[in-house]
Amino acid sequence: MDRPFGLLAELTYRCPLACAYCSNPVNLAEHTDELGTDEWLRVFAEAHRLGALQLHLSGGEPLLRRDLVELVRGAQDLGYYTNLITSAIGLSRDRALRLRDAGLAHVQISIQADEAAVSDRIAGIPSFQRKVEAARLVKELDWPLTVNVVLHRQNIDRIGPILERAEELGADRIELANTQYYGWAWRNRASLLPSRAQLEHAEAVVRAARDRLAGHTDLIYILPDYYGEYPKPCMGGWGKRQLAITPGGDALPCLAAHELPLDKANVREHPLDWIWSESPVFQRFRGTDWMGDPCRSCSRREVDFGGCRCQAFQLTGDATRTDPVCHLSPDHDLVQAAVRAANEPGRPLAEALTPRVNRPGEPHRTP
């Protein structure tokens, strides 16, 4: 059986931003009891014994955890390569210095656009200038910097200036990832799904940028699923190389699987080695035995593993269905209808978004 290579630790769902494509659960009020410091350190140790070498500290906004420095130091002691995935809101010089001294190896900062007006509108709060200042601080402290941009209908036309901004910030790696449509992004799909013309322009810009940046900046461009002929292999295969832990301790094969109607496996109740090797949630879609046709008889079944289970569930209500992105899926018309709508003549590019918010008065337990 494959062993996990990377651990995604979602330390909290709390976040100062209100991005309309947020991967946080829509029902945030049901997710308030976060793992404490000792619990996270135990999980890090158990995952490392399983084989995990990379630790991605994410959220929400992980900087809202007051014990973040302690968590990084504990991960460093175990031998992890640690990566902080952050909006950078709250990354002060003092905090950055303490994180560096604790052993943090890499910083990934998200930006929403190349300039303040658009970026702040998409993020839901004034944040662009603080992100720029934080990125410069990261480079000043000699950390490798990844700039991550979630692309969608309302910013993909700015991909050229976005790349220029990332270069100006000294990014060692640039990740341009088209939106995945579940959770909050599903609610906002009509306002986020780009047109074919937008994608063709973006791909031309990316090709030119790859030639220009070759040798000194890695450029990753992830195409939107809805425009693909075949689906992507979810996390390289369900329960194959990656695992995610939610703020409340649920262990999942991917960060979106909390939406699926599956039995939970929580690190407060079970050791991580049992969860990885025996729990129903990790066994459910592992390998190919669970597949029905057309996946079962397809020559690509061990290439894309039937595609994304979360996407199949989101579109059809049945997580066992072939990912409707696949042109062989009997449900492919669901994706085609969304694509047709995104390409209607005269369709505006900047449509109203439903922002992700924490409801007023919503409680949080902060370690």
Closest CA to 142 of 172, 166, 164: 172
Element (H, E) at 167: helix 159-168
Please give the average per-residue pLDDT across 73-95, as a whole number. 97
For residue range 21-70, list pLDDT tens digits in order.
988 887 776 777 899 999 999 999 999 999 999 999 999 999 999 999 99
**pLDDT score at 361:** 34
Task: Please state which of the ranges 70-79, 92-101, 294-303 shows the lowest mean pLDDT.
Answer: 294-303
**pLDDT score at 365:** 36
Please give the average per-residue pLDDT across 98-119, as a whole number. 97
156 contacts 202 by C-beta, under 8 angstroms? yes
145 contacts 107 by C-beta, under 8 angstroms? yes
Strand partners, 252: 244
For residue range 252-299, list pLDDT tens digits in order.
998 888 889 999 999 999 999 999 999 999 999 998 999 999 999 999
pTM: 0.92
Task: Please state which of the ranges 12-26, 47-61, 161-175 shows the lowest mean pLDDT.
Answer: 12-26
**298 in a known ligand binding site:** no
Please give the average per-residue pLDDT across 105-111, as a whole number. 97
Structure tokens at 310: 């979360």
Q: Residue 73 corresponds to which amino acid?
A: R
Helix axes 68-78, 93-102, angle to 10 degrees: 20
In the 8-state DSSP scheme, what is residue 89? T
**pLDDT score at 1:** 53
**254 in a known ligand binding site:** no
CA distance linking residue 328 with residue 295, whole number of Å: 9
Structure tokens at 287: 């390998």
**pLDDT score at 363:** 36
Strand partners, 222: 177
Question: Which of the four pLDDT bands, split at 50, 70 and 90, describes residue 230?
Answer: very high
In the 8-state DSSP scheme, what is residue 212? H
For residue range 311-361, list pLDDT tens digits in order.
999 999 999 999 999 999 999 999 999 999 999 998 887 776 776 655 333
Strand order in the sheet with 173-178: 218-222, 173-178, 145-151, 106-110, 81-86, 54-58, 6-10, 242-245, 251-252
Mean pLDDT of the chain: 91
235 contacts 2 by C-beta, under 8 angstroms? no
**pLDDT score at 123:** 93
**19 in a known ligand binding site:** yes
Question: In this model, does residue 93 exceed pLDDT 80?
Answer: yes
